[in-house]
Each structure stands twice: as C-alpha cells, then as structure tokens.
Structure 1
Amino acid sequence: MTTAAAADLAARGLAVFPLPPGGRKPAGPWRSQCLTDPERVRELWREGDNIGVGCRASGMVGLDLDLHADNDGRAVLAALAERLGEDWPDTLTVATPSGGRHLYFAVPDGCTIGSFSGARSPLGSAIDVRGPGLRSGGYLVGPGSVVGGVRYVIERDVPVAALPEWIATRLR
C-alpha cells in the first residue's frame, strides 16, 4: 500500500523518499534518494516503508498544523486568515495521526523559505513550516505512512496550490 501511495505522490509532482517502517525520521541521507518518477518509485520502493516528501526537490512548502492539548495549529492559521481578511487555503491537505494537518503549497524556483518549529514559527505557535530552505530543505511525512499504528491520510484531495501571498509574506 505504501508503494502505491508513494507512486501517487510522485505522479502529483512531489519528490518522495523512503522512511523506515513506522518511523518519521530518515535512517540516513535522504536528499539524494528523492524520486519524482512514479515508475521508478514502483521499481525501487520497499513495501512497508513510510514516505517522506522532500520540500526542495518538490518545489514546495509544507505547513504542519499541530494539535496539542493547549494549542491548535488549525485554529491559529484560521485566526490569522480571518484577521487578514483572507480565505482558508484550498490545497492538498493530509490528516496526521496526532489529529493535526499538513498543507502542501507550491513555491517558485529559487524560493528560500526555511523550516521553523514551535515558537519560532512566523505563522504562530503550533504551526511548523517545512520549506525548501537555502541549501537542503525540510520534509514532511507523506500520506500512506503509518506511525503508532495510525495512517497519514489525504483529507482534501485537490492539486497542490501556490503558496498564498499572505502566508509567503510572513515566511520570507
């Protein structure tokens, strides 16, 4: 099942690489392992491996909207959008095992948005940013992956949208 999920992501233009079964962290260097050809993914993927999505190789920024007992990234982003008079972004959205969400956004070539976590995030607490960065970039755990017995699942199956300017402005 993870092979099909990884091939589907590659067909969407996302660069995928294997993560250890059940894991969220690469076992070693991953940037050179990113694949964008669905056929190569089908040939090389080991069934059961989790899926990483490389931000730089995919030309994307990922927003990881965490859900904690005292903080909800979805509520933080919704409040920011409302304060600015902006709409909730309509883009590929993945539900995470912890109840959070990953939002995928396309960025132009040469984008240098970095990765931020927790209180350092320019979008607010509980919103981690995974960007293409200056050199290597970050990654997201992709849909189809299983952590703690719970699967990452595509919740909003639409094309990856361009990063909205109101978000990009805060990340630059």
Structure 2
Amino acid sequence: MATIDRHVTTLALAHALSAAERGLAVIPLSRTKLPALPSPHRADPAPALCRGECGRFGHGVYDASSDPGRIRELFAAAPWATGYGIACGLPPYHLIGVDLDTKSGTDSSAALRELALRHLFTIPDTVVVITPSGGRHVWLSGPPDIVVPNSAGRLAPGIDIRGAGGYLVGPGSRTDHGVYSTAPGTAHLPVAPCPPALLRLITPPPRPHHPTPLSTGQHGQGLVQFVLAAHEGQRNTRLFWAACRAYENGIGDELATPLVEAAIHTGLTEREARATVASAARLTGHRP
C-alpha cells in the first residue's frame, strides 16, 4: 500500500510541476481535496492570523508557488498527498474557476447557458477539467486589477466561483471519489479571458464612497467644541482642521458660521476666521 501511495504522490507532483510550467501556483492536496499540510499553528492556544509570514508550511493556498524547488519541498513535507490545488487570483492568469456542480440536483451547465443568453456572453474555448462526479471546472483569466471573490450558488444553483483565496483541484489529482482530468481537446488551450458580462456578475459592485454624514447636532457640535477648546497658537490650526472635516462630510456650508463664531470666541478676528474656513473649502474642492 505504501508503494502505491508513493507512486500516486510522485504522479501528483509530476502533474503539479507541469501546471507550474504554465505559471500556475500550486499546493499539495490530500485525498479529501483539502490542503495536505496541516496548519503549524493548530496547537497554539491563541492562533494568530498567519498567511505564511512565519516561514513554515501549512497555510493552505498561501503556500502556493510556481517555483519547482519550493513545490518539491511542499510535496516532500506531505508524502501522503495524492493531488494538487491551483491557487486562483494570482498572476499571471488571475485564475477564475467556474465550478459546475452535479450534486445539487440541478443542471448547472444549463443554468450557465441560460445566464449566457440572458446577459449576452459566450463562454470561450478554454481549459475545462472534469471532476470524478461528472462536474466541470471552467478556467478563465481575470483582469489584474479586479478581485473576484469565492461564492457558492450565488450566481445560480450548482454554480460556484473560485476566486482570490480559493483553489481548483488540478487535473491528474486523485481523490477518494476518483481522478480529475482535462476535457478532451482542452488540455493545451490557453486560459481564456473571462467575458466582461460574466465578470460583472461574479464581482460585487464597488461600494460607493459616502462620507459618514455629520449632522449639525452631535457631530457638528463636536467640531465646534474642538475649535472652542483651542489655545493661543493652535486656533487657526484647529479651525482649519475642523472646517476641512465639515466640508468633507457635506456640512461645511451650514457649519461655517458656527465655526467662525467659535474661532472669534477663542480670540481670532472674524476676517482671520473666515479666511481660514475659505481655505479649507478650497482645499476640499468646495467653493467658499
């Protein structure tokens, strides 16, 4: 049995090195499809968040590498490995995996075709990996400046997305359920770019930046009190800072007079105070 396992590990290493030749970063996997190396922090009483900074193996996808020497070290540390995972989201491909599952009781391939028709995109010719259960992993390349998150069933039932921080089981891997293999005619295809319409579906829209609105009640009063607490030598500085915060948060116009009045109370002249507030308005892109 040991000889068979050693042979399987050697074969998995060979497939992993082949993937690395294409620029893909890999890690060894066990028969359960999980990273083969356990966390070095599992016995720590209060494990800290570590992504490999400690220099030891066992950080899952953060161990992934395309360097042949490091890959051999990873597999030497995990002689029970029977497969390998390919990290998504890393250069040069910024790999995105569209996982079409067959275990959900739905036709995920049909669901993807329906999405393609509805949103007017076509899945290009690319690498496709067939899973032991008959599912498919479609490999796509993403842009370097967009982070695609992992998701399960969000796009449609039975369709999972593997993105940054995730991994795909590489072809040639052996698991408890069978062997992963490339679909005929796709092994040597380049990883095709993800269609823009699909990319929009799998990428959450950027959160609009809305500065926390200040009210002229509690928060606005806090800025006024900040100015009132100024001592000689810091009155202009405090007023300028408070006015900038007010304009950045959309209440500069309505808070300008209370701030000026507070500054006058500390000893500034009205002319000095109004000039300082006007400077803050200009700096923050507002017309005083």
User: Could you state the TM-score of these two structures normalised by the residue count of structure 2?
Assistant: 0.52
Q: Give the structure 2 partner of residue 17 of structure 1.
A: 27
- Alignment check: 8 A CA contact 2:142 2:194 kept: yes
In structure 1, what is the equivalent of residue 102 of structure 2?
Answer: 67
Q: Counterparts of 1:75-90 in structure 2 under 5 Å?
A: 75-90=110-125
1:5-44 deviation line (CA, Å, top 9, x unaligned)? 1011111121100112x12112331233211124543565
- The answer to whether the aligner puts 1:124 opposite 2:156 as a matched pair is yes
Deviating more after overlay: 48-57 vs 58-67: 48-57
The number of residues matched between the two structures is: 164
For the 8 Å contact 2:17–2:68, the answer to whether it is kept is yes
Q: Distance in 2 between matches of 1:164 and 1:57?
A: 18
Q: Deviations over 1:74-128 (max 9, x none)?
A: 111112113334323211110001110011111122321111012xx1x211000
2:175 aligned to which of 136, 147, 150: 147
Are the aligned partners of 1:4 and 1:42 in contact in 2 as well (CA < 8 Å)? no
Select the residue among 31, 55, 63 that pairs with 1:33: 63
CA RMSD in angstroms comes to 2.0
Larger RCO: 1 or 2 (CA < 8 Å, sep 6+): 1
Larger strand fraction of residues? 1
Match of 2:192 among 155, 161, 164: 161
1:69 CA displacement: 6.1
Q: Pick from 135, 159, 171 the counterpart of residue 100 of structure 1.
A: 135
Higher helix share: 2
d(CA) in 2 for partners of 1:77, 1:93: 14
Out of 81, 87, 93, which is 1:54 matched to? 87
Instruction: Give the superposition deviation at 1:48.
Output: 5.8
Inter-partner Cα distance in structure 2 for 1:9 and 1:161: 16
Q: Distance in 1 between matches of 2:61 and 2:151?
A: 19
Bigger CA radius of gyration: 2
Q: Aligned partner of 1:64: which letter?
A: D
User: Judging changes above 3 Å, is the alpha-carbon distance between structure 1 residues 147 and 44 closer, same or farther for their aligned structure 2 residues?
Assistant: closer
Structure 1 unaligned spans of 5+:
none
Distance 1:116 1:32 in 2: 19
Does structure 2 retain, via aligned residues, the 8 Å contact 1:34–1:57? no
Structure 2: tracts of 5 or more residues without a match: 1-10, 40-58, 204-288
Give the secondary-structure state (helix, strand or coil) at the position aligned to 2:160.
strand
Identity within the alignment, %: 37
User: What TM-score does the superposition give when structure 1 sets the normalisation length?
Assistant: 0.85
Tell me which amino acid in the other structure corresponds to 2:143.
P
